[in-house]
Structures are given as structure tokens and as C-alpha cells.
Amino acid sequence: MEIKVLYFGVLAEVTQTMFRQYSGIISFSHLMQRINDEYPDFVHYTYRIAVNSVLQNEEPQLKNNDEVAFLPPFAGG
């Protein structure tokens, strides 16, 4: 699957980018494995996950071309 990944807040600093496209992803855990391999510091941060702008409470079932966003704790206002 092709998966678009967005990183926000401190995670954009950790990864040095706000956007990455990942190819050949077979599942969410596979995507996490790729991200953690690429950015070893990623595991040190707290975040929530949204798929196509919807917050997820459980491990999501990804589809081709889904947009997965990694969201550190919000700080609006």
C-alpha cells in the first residue's frame, strides 16, 4: 500500500519533515516498524494517531492511499 504520513509538533522536528510517503506498507504495525527503524527517537514521544483526519483509539486497519497523522498532545489557544 501507499501511505501518506504527516508529522506534527515535536515529531516534525524529530523526523525533520512534516510529510513522508511510504510504499509497500502491508499493515499499520509494518508502517510503525519502518518509522521506528528510520527515526530511533520516535519511541520516546507521546502521540495520538489520526487516519484521514479521524482520531483512532485502536490500531487502525489501513487502506491504500490512507493519510496517517502522528499528533503530539494538542496545545491550541
Residue 22 identity: Y
CB nearer to other proteins: give 26 or 54: 54
Residues ≥6 apart with Cβ < 8 Å to 33: none
User: Is residue 73 part of the contact set for other proteins (CB under 8 A)?
Assistant: yes
Nearest to 70 by CA among 12, 28, 24: 12
Residue list 3-32, contact with other proteins (CB under 8 A): 6, 8-10, 12-13, 18
Q: Are 45 and 71 in contact (CB under 8 A)?
A: no
Residue list 32-51, contact with other proteins (CB under 8 A): 43-46, 50
Site residues (vs other proteins, CB under 8 A): 6, 8-10, 12-13, 18, 43-46, 50, 53, 69, 71-77
